């Protein structure tokens, strides 16, 4: 049994991670916490996440929850995730981080802490989405430069970062194949007299509204045909289950920075 601590237990993702831990026979919930002052702190975990049988209460003591666990799963906010990872590194505990919207400096901190403990850091924990990361690169490579590339992503209206971390990863995969620099080729939306589309251009469109869990489409467009590769997440459970899978995997690793491609054995 792998003992797991969950950060942000009262959040949309944290609650689903708690459910996923209880649904995985090889995992055991060691602690669930949220930010000091959060309305859920001190309340029954079962009541907060809507899971009969969930034991204990939601605490605000991250250090204690991490101390009771072998690995932390964190889908909170950039600053909080970095703080929690530092605590994991200080205690010698593994971590799985699915938080998006990290600054370059925060990513550097994560990489430095991963020299002390094993860390899975990925913008999307879905098994299907991680297969798509590999597929878009293969498709771009085979189709070649005559196919224009466009990325469209859609999320709920509470999503704070745009484009999504998943969309950024898709773009990075496409740019690597084409030999492009991300900031030089991305066109984030189009308005007005933009002129004709250039050959070295990657369009990025963002949709926000309602309760869309997450949708990502990559278009490969040439004269005479168009290919579309789409991933639609029906619920947050797909990310939560992937995170628990990553947690079971990472506790056996040496210190280092990993992603879901490593967890799933998709790297060449």
Catalytic positions: 155, 159
Find the farthest-apart pair of alpha carbons in the chain and give their distance in angstroms, rounded.
Answer: 61
CB atoms within 10 A of CB 216: 24
**Residue 65 near residue 45 (C-beta atoms within 8 A):** no
What the block records as the tokens of 225 is: 């045909």
H helices present in the chain, as ranges: 12-22, 45-49, 62-67, 78-91, 104-113, 127-143, 165-178, 182-185, 237-250, 260-264
Q: Which residues contact 181 (CB under 8 A, 6 or more apart)?
A: 175
Instruction: Give me the residues paired with residue 3 across strands.
Output: 28
In whole angstroms, give the CA distance from residue 236 to residue 124: 11
End-to-end CA distance of the chain: 30
User: Residue 183's CB: how many other CB atoms inside 10 A?
Assistant: 7
């Amino acid at each position: 049994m792998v003992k797991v601590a969950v950060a942000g237990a009262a959040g949309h993702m944290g609650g689903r991670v708690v459910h996923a831990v209880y649904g995985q026979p090889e995992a055991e919930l060691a602690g669930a916490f949220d930010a000091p002052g959060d309305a859920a702190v001190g309340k029954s975990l079962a009541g907060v996440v809507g899971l009969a049988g969930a034991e204990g209460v939601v605490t605000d003591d991250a250090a204690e929850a991490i101390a009771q666990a072998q690995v932390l799963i964190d889908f909170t906010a950039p600053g909080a995730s970095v703080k929690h990872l530092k605590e994991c590194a200080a205690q010698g505990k593994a971590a799985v981080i699915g938080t998006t919207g990290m600054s370059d400096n925060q990513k550097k901190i994560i990489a430095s802490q991963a020299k002390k403990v094993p860390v899975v850091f990925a913008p999307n924990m879905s098994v299907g989405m991680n297969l798509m990361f590999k597929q878009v690169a293969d498709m771009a490579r085979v189709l070649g430069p005559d196919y224009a590339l466009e990325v469209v992503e859609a999320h709920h209206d509470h999503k704070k970062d745009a484009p999504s971390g998943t969309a950024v990863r898709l773009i990075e995969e496409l740019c690597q194949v084409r030999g492009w620099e991300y900031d030089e080729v991305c066109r984030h939306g189009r308005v007005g007299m933009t002129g004709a589309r250039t050959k070295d251009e990657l369009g990025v469109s963002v949709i926000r509204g309602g309760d869309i869990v997450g949708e990502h489409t990559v278009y490969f467009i040439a004269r005479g045909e168009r290919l579309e590769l789409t991933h639609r997440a029906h619920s947050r459970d797909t990310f939560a289950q992937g995170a628990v899978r990553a947690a079971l995997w990472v506790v056996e690793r040496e210190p280092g920075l990993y992603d879901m491609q490593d967890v799933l054995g998709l790297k060449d």
